[in-house]
């Protein structure tokens, strides 16, 4: 079967199909490249936030708590809604601990909830420590409400956990915030974390539950170059052998 007089010449239908498919493949690759570059910038911002917090003497996350965490999430520059009381929305990354370091970061959204201490703050950085496998398994669901399915407490700051409360020691999630340069533990009950699987699939070809699964064998070298900065940053502050 042939199509006549296309672009002034006879062109077979098969060549047209091949051309259309080739254009589609190139366009898809370019779109993915842009997505990976965008997610690399997000990973860099999360890494910068974590580094800045941990580099403040006596005001960072206690090392012994950091070493116990099974996963760490950082949500930089979360915006508090101006028209919906207490609403906020932002994007971040979460990596789970693996032998000798940290696994590929999955991309998540943070929304909902109301935090009284954040009144007047335009942007806030959030850090979350997921302290056990139960908290980590909750992340593998389509939507996870902090404080609803897993206990959460404001995390302590400083060099040690000598003054840590019983609630903090038993919590599945310890949460922190940094706003206007002030870093402190902050309970964020009611917030919802849900995976951004459009981004996860674009970057890894996997959804969040696959990325954070203990069965995932992806090495640091297999993580896109711009994105591996996040697990590399976490490894500078806490690594298990």
pTM given for the model: 0.79
Q: pLDDT of 140-160, one tens digit each?
A: 887 788 766 557 888 888 765
pLDDT digits (tens, 9 = 90+) for 78-102: 876 543 344 457 899 999 999 999 9
**pLDDT by 10s per residue, the chain, length 241:** 444 444 444 556 555 555 445 444 444 445 577 888 899 999 999 999 999 999 987 888 999 899 999 999 999 988 765 433 444 578 999 999 999 999 999 999 988 765 444 445 468 899 999 999 888 888 888 778 876 655 788 888 876 555 556 656 778 899 998 887 788 887 777 788 899 999 999 999 999 999 999 999 999 999 999 999 999 999 999 988 7
Query: What phi-psi label fits residue 220: left (phi over 0), alpha (psi between -120 and 50 degrees) or beta?
Result: alpha
Query: Between β-strands 144-145 and 152-154, what pairing exists: parallel, antiparallel or unpaired?
Result: unpaired
Residue indicated by tokens 């917030």: 191
Contact 65, 155 (CB under 8 A): yes
In the numeric block, which tokens belong to residue 190?
A: 């009611």
């Amino acid at each position: 079967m042939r199509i006549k007089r296309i672009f002034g010449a006879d062109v077979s239908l098969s060549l047209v199909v091949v051309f259309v498919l080739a254009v589609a493949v190139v366009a898809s690759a370019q779109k993915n490249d842009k997505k990976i570059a965008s997610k690399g910038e997000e990973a860099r911002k999360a890494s910068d936030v974590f580094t800045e917090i941990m580099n403040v003497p006596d005001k960072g996350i206690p090392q012994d708590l950091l070493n116990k965490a099974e996963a760490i999430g950082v949500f930089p520059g979360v915006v508090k809604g101006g028209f919906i009381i207490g609403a906020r929305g932002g994007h971040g990354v979460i990596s789970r601990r693996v032998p000798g370091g940290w696994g590929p970061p999955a991309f998540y959204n943070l929304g909902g909830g109301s935090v009284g201490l954040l009144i007047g703050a335009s942007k806030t950085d959030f850090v979350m420590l997921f302290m056990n496998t139960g908290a980590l398994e909750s992340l593998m669901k389509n939507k996870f409400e902090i404080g609803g399915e897993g206990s959460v407490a404001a995390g302590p700051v400083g060099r040690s956990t000598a003054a840590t409360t019983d609630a903090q020691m038993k919590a599945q999630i310890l949460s922190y915030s940094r706003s206007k340069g002030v870093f402190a533990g902050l309970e964020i009950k009611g917030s919802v974390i849900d995976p951004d699987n459009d981004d996860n699939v674009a970057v890894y070809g996997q959804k969040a539950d696959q990325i954070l699964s203990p069965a995932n064998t992806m090495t640091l070298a297999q993580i896109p170059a711009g994105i591996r900065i996040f697990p590399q940053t976490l490894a500078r502050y806490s690594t298990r052998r």
